[in-house]
Structure 1
Amino acid sequence: MTNAKILVVEDEAIVAKDLQHRLVRFGYTVPVIASSGEEAINQAVEISPDLVLMDIKLKGKMDGIEAAQEIHKHLDIPIIYLTAYADESTLIRAKIAEPFCYLLKPFKEKELQTNIEITLYKHGLERQLKVNKKWLDALLRSISDGVIASDLQELVTFMNPVAENLTGWKQEEAYGRHSSEIFNIANAETHNPIESPIIKVLQDGIIVSIPAETILITRDGEEIPIDDSAAPIKDDKDNITGAVLVFRDVSERKRAIEREELVVKWEEINQLKNDFLNLVSHELRSPLSNIKLMIQMIQVSTDTEETQRYLQLMEAECDRELGLINDLLDLQRLESSSYPIITPDALLLQQWLTWVIEPFQIRVQEHQQTLQLNLSSNLPPLFSDSTCLERIIVELLNNACKYTPLGGEIILSVSHNSSEVPAKTIITTSNSIEIPATELSRIFEKFYRLANADIWNQGGSGLGLPIVKKLVEQLQGNIQVESSNGWTTFTLTLTDL
C-alpha cells in the first residue's frame, strides 16, 4: 500500500531515524516519531496513521503493549511490534493487544516491508469484513421479517429484533438453544406440532416453506399466524454450515382477507335483500292489486255469474299469495335444518310417477304441449322420502310447463344404474326450450328468474329451483342442469336412503 502513513514508536533516536529513512524509501509516509507510550497515544489520535510500528520496551511508566491497548480503544489501526525480547511472558502480554505481526530485532529490510504490506492488506480485508458485517447486521435488524439462524446442530446462532418480538425470546437467551424450542409452530386448526423447516433444510439442502394455516406459539403461549421459509447457509465451497429462517406475522393480512370476505358476504346479503324486496313489490303487490280491483268490480256488478267469476279469480290470486308465503317458509326451514325429518318409503316408480304426473296431463293439453314418461324396464323400488321427491318432481314439471312453448315437448325419464356402488336411480326432466349459458349458472340462486320470464308471461318467485336443490341435498342426492340444441335437461341422481 503506497503512501501509507506510519507512526514509528521507538525510544532510541538513532534506531527511530533509521526506521524512518527505510520506510520513506519503501514509499511510505512517516510524519512523526514517538519516543514514549503516552506520546504514541497522543500522536496516533492526532494523525490517525494507517499503521503503527511499536517498540515494546519504552522509557517511562508505559510500555509499548500498554500503549497499543490504549490506542485500540480509540482507533482501529494495525500494530506491528518491534522488539529484541522474545520471552514467554512478553509474548503472552503482546497477544492480548492483538498485534498483526511481531518482529524480532534485528530484522532485514525486505522482512520489514513484506510484513508491513501483508499487515496493511490483511487489515484492509478485516475492515471491509467488519463494514460488511455491520451492514448485514443493520439490514437484518431493520427488515420487517423475523430472522433466526442456526448451525448444523439446529442451535440458534442469531435472532433479529423482529424475531425476538414475535417469539418472546431475546437473542442472548436463545443463543445455543435448539431452534424448535424458540420457533415453536403448530397447525392452527388441530394445534398438532409441526416439524421445524430447519430440519428438512439441513437434511436436503433446499428451501422449505411451512404449511398453510400455521401458528407460532410464543414463549408466553400466545398464538400468532405466520408464514415463512427456511434456506440453507452455505460456504464458498457449497457446503451447508447452517440454516436461516425468515418468517412474518400475517395476522393483519388474515384480518384484511376476513374483512374482504365479510364485504363480499354483505354484498351478497344486500343483493338477496334487494331481490327479496323486488319479489315482494311485484309478486305480492300484483295479486293484492288484482284482488282489490275484483272487489270493486263485484261491488258494482249485478250479474251473479260475473260475480262468481271474479270470486274464482280472487281465490286463484289468494292461492298464489299463499304459495309464495309457503315457499318462503319452506326455504327458510330447509336452510335452518328445521325441515321435517326424512322418512324413507319403498317407492315403486312405475306406479308412483304415473300418479304424480297425472295432474299435469290436463295442463299440458291446455297449452298444446306433450308430456312423455319414459321408464326403464325392471326398475327396483327406490327407498326415499316420497314427500320430498314429489315436491322435487312437481317443481321441475311446473317449470317445464311454464317455459315450454306451445306445441313443445316435456320428457320425464327414469333409469337405474346397478353397476355403481351404491346403485343410482337417475331421473331426468327435459323440455324443448334452451336457456342461455350466462343464466344457467345462476338458475339455482334464490329469487333469480330468467331474464325473459316476463316476456313469456311467466311470473314466479324465483324460489322453486332453490327449494329443489335443498330438497335434493336432504335426500343426499345430486342435481345438475344442461341446456343445448334447443333442450334444457335437469338430471337428478339418487341412492337409497
Structure 2
Amino acid sequence: MTSAKILVVEDEAIVAKDLQYRLIKFGYTVPVIASSGQEAINKAVEISPDLVLMDIKLKGSMDGIEAAQEIHKHLDIPVIYLTAYADDKTLARAKITEPFGYLLKPFKERELQTNIEIALTKHGLERQLKVSKKWLDALLKSIGDGVIASDLQELVTFMNPVAENLTGWKQEEAYGRNSSEVFNIANADTHNSIESPIVKVLQDGIIVSLPAETILITREGGEIPIDDSVAPIKDDKDNIMGAVLVFRDITERKRAIEARQRQIEQEKLVLQWEEINQLKNDFLNLVSHELRSPLSNMKLMIKMIQLSTDTEEAQRYLELMEGECDRELGLINDLLDLQRLESSSYPVITPDALLLQQFLTWIIEPFQIRVQQHQQTLKLNLPSNLPPLLSDGISLERILIELLNNACKYTPAGGEIILSVSHNSLETPAKTIITTSNSAEISAIELPRIFEKFYRIPNADIWNQGGSGLGLAIVQKLVEQLQGNIQVESGNGWTTFTLTLTDLL
C-alpha cells in the first residue's frame, strides 16, 4: 500500500522531519506532523490517516499511549509505536491499546517499512473481518429462524434473537451452557426426550435434521413444534470447530396443513354425499320402476281377464299376476329386511346343527331349472366328511340364495357356477368355508363397492337382470349376525365370494 497516508507524531522536530523524508521515499504521503498528544488527536480526526506512527514520550501532559487510546475511541486507525523505551511498565500500557507494531529506536529503514506494510495489511484484513462480522450479525438477527452455535464441547457460543424468543434463554444466560439444556427437544406424541442433533453432527461431521413431530421444550416448560437442521462448522483445513443449529417454529405451518387436511376431508365428504345422493336417486328411480311395473302389469292382466271369455287364457293371466305379486312382495321384503338388520330389530338367530350335504343340496335344487334355461351349468363340490355346522339355517339360506341368484343373473350363457365347501379343523375355532364362483368378472374399480347399499355395477341391464341393489348389502349384514366374514375377489374371468363361518355358541 505505497499510497498510504501516515500521521507522524514526534516531538523532536529533526527526528520528525527525517522520518517524514524516509516515509515519502517509501512512497507514502505524510501530510502533517504532530508534536503533542492533543495535536495528534486533532490531526487524526481532521485527516483520517491510514496509519499513525506514534512516539510514546511527547511534550505536554498526554503521552503517546494516552493519545492512541483517545484516537481509538473515535477512529479505527492502526498505530505503531516508535520509542526508545522498552521497560515492562511502558510495554504493558502499550499492549492495552492493541498496537500493530512496537519499534525501538534506533531502527533501520527496512525494518520500519516492513512493520508499516504488515500493519496496513493486517488492519485491512481485520477491517474486512469486522465488516463481515457485522454483516453476519445483522443477517442472523434479521432472519426468521432461530440460530444457535456451539463449540466442540457442545457449549453454546451464540444465539440470535429468534432463538432467544423460542427457547426462553437470553444469549448471555445460555453462553457456556450445554446446548442440550438450552435446546431441549422431545417427541410430540410420546414426550420422550430426543438427543440433541448437535451431538451427532460433532461426532460424524454431517448435516443432521430433526425427526418429524419434534417439539421444543422452552425454559418455562412451553411446547413449540419445530423442524431444524444442524451443520458442522469447519475451518479451512476441514477440521470441525463446532456446530450451528437452525430451527423454526412450525406452528402456523402445522395449522395450515391441518386446515388443508380438514378441507380435503370435507371435500371427500361432499363427494361421498353427492355419490350417495346419486345412488339414492338411482335407487328411487329403480324402486319406482320395480314397484310400478308389477302393478301396471297386474292392472293390464285384470283388464284382459275381464275381456276374456276363454277359461284357459284367464288362468294364464292369473298365473302371471301371481308372479308379478311375488316380484312386488320381494322388493318390499328386501327393503324391510335391510331396515331391520340396520336397526338391530331383525329376528334373533337360532343356532341349529346343519348337515351341509343335505342343506346345500336342498338350497341349489330350485336353481337347477333356472341355469338350464339360461344355458348355464351349476356344480356342487361337497366333501363326504363334513361335520355339522352350528348356525342359523334361515340366515344362511338367505345368504346363499342371494349369492346364487346374483351368479345366475350375471353369468353369461355357456358360463359356469360352482358352489364349494371345505372345513378347516386345524384352526381354533374350526372354520367352515363356503365359496360361490361364477364365470363373470367384476372390474377392480367396482369391486370395493360391491356390498354398498343400492349400488349396482355400471352399465348393468337393470331391467332385464332385475333386483334392487340391496341383495349383497343384506348378505353382508346377515354374515355379521352369524359372526362370520365374507370376501370377494375377481380376476381371470371369474368372481368368487368366500364365506367363512364358525359354530355359533
Question: Kindly tell me: are residues 59 and 244 of structure 1, through their superposed partners in 2, closer, same or farther at Cα, counting changes over 3 Å?
Answer: same
1:112 Cα deviation from its structure 2 partner: 0.5
User: Runs of 5+ in structure 2 lacking a partner?
Assistant: 307-313
Aligned to 2:175: 175
- Rg bigger for which structure? 2
Aligned to 1:92: 92
Aligned to 1:210: 210
SS at match of 1:177: coil
Aligned to 1:482: 490
Aligned to 1:374: 381
- How much identity, in percent, do the aligned residues show? 73
Name the amino acid aligned to 1:92. A
Aligned to 2:410: 403
1:82 Cα deviation from its structure 2 partner: 1.2
Name the amino acid aligned to 1:51. L
1:44 equivalenced with 2:44 (yes/no): yes
SS at match of 2:141: helix
Q: Are the counterparts in 1 of residues 279 and 455 from structure 2 also a CA contact under 8 Å?
A: no
Aligned to 1:110: 110
1:63 Cα deviation from its structure 2 partner: 1.7
**CA–CA distance in structure 1, aligned partners of residues 231 and 503 of structure 2:** 54
Aligned to 2:311: none
- Alignment of structure 1 residues 240-279 onto 2, 5 Å: 240-279=240-279
TM-score, normalised to structure 1, is: 0.83
SS at match of 1:479: strand
**CA–CA distance in structure 1, aligned partners of residues 214 and 349 of structure 2:** 41
**CA–CA distance in structure 2, aligned partners of residues 91 and 274 of structure 1:** 91
Question: Kindly tell me: are residues 495 and 2 of structure 1, through their superposed partners in 2, closer, same or farther at Cα, counting changes over 3 Å?
Answer: farther
Q: Are the counterparts in 2 of residues 284 and 321 from structure 1 also a CA contact under 8 Å?
A: no
1:234 equivalenced with 2:234 (yes/no): yes
- Alignment of structure 1 residues 159-198 onto 2, 5 Å: 159-198=159-198
Q: Are the counterparts in 2 of residues 272 and 446 from structure 1 also a CA contact under 8 Å?
A: no
Aligned to 1:320: 331
**CA–CA distance in structure 2, aligned partners of residues 33 and 218 of structure 1:** 60
Q: Are the counterparts in 1 of residues 294 and 327 from structure 2 also a CA contact under 8 Å?
A: no
**CA–CA distance in structure 1, aligned partners of residues 352 and 40 of structure 2:** 109
1:278 Cα deviation from its structure 2 partner: 2.1
Question: Kindly tell me: are residues 487 and 7 of structure 1, through their superposed partners in 2, closer, same or farther at Cα, counting changes over 3 Å?
Answer: same
Shifted more, 354-363 versus 9-18: the winner is: 354-363
Aligned to 2:25: 25
SS at match of 1:61: coil
> Which deviations, in whole Å up to 9, do the C-alpha atoms of 1:140-187 show, x marking residues without a partner?
333332222111221111122222222222222211111111111111
Shifted more, 395-404 versus 213-222: the winner is: 395-404
Q: Are the counterparts in 2 of residues 81 and 103 from structure 1 also a CA contact under 8 Å?
A: yes
**CA–CA distance in structure 1, aligned partners of residues 471 and 121 of structure 2:** 88
1:239 Cα deviation from its structure 2 partner: 2.0
1:95 Cα deviation from its structure 2 partner: 1.1
1:453 equivalent among 451, 457, 460: 460
Residue correspondences, number: 492
Name the amino acid aligned to 2:494. W
Question: Kindly tell me: are residues 32 and 195 of structure 1, through their superposed partners in 2, closer, same or farther at Cα, counting changes over 3 Å?
Answer: same
SS at match of 1:73: helix
Q: Are the counterparts in 1 of residues 283 and 454 from structure 2 also a CA contact under 8 Å?
A: no
1:137 Cα deviation from its structure 2 partner: 2.4
Aligned to 2:309: none
**CA–CA distance in structure 1, aligned partners of residues 160 and 480 of structure 2:** 54
SS at match of 2:30: coil
Q: Are the counterparts in 1 of residues 443 and 490 from structure 2 also a CA contact under 8 Å?
A: no
1:52 Cα deviation from its structure 2 partner: 1.0
Aligned to 2:419: 412
Aligned to 1:134: 134
Aligned to 1:224: 224
**CA–CA distance in structure 1, aligned partners of residues 94 and 478 of structure 2:** 92
Question: Kindly tell me: are residues 171 and 458 of structure 1, through their superposed partners in 2, closer, same or farther at Cα, counting changes over 3 Å?
Answer: farther
Name the amino acid aligned to 1:183. F
User: Runs of 5+ in structure 1 lacking a partner?
Assistant: none
Q: Are the counterparts in 2 of residues 291 and 314 from structure 1 also a CA contact under 8 Å?
A: no
1:245 Cα deviation from its structure 2 partner: 1.7
Q: Are the counterparts in 2 of residues 477 and 495 from structure 1 also a CA contact under 8 Å?
A: no
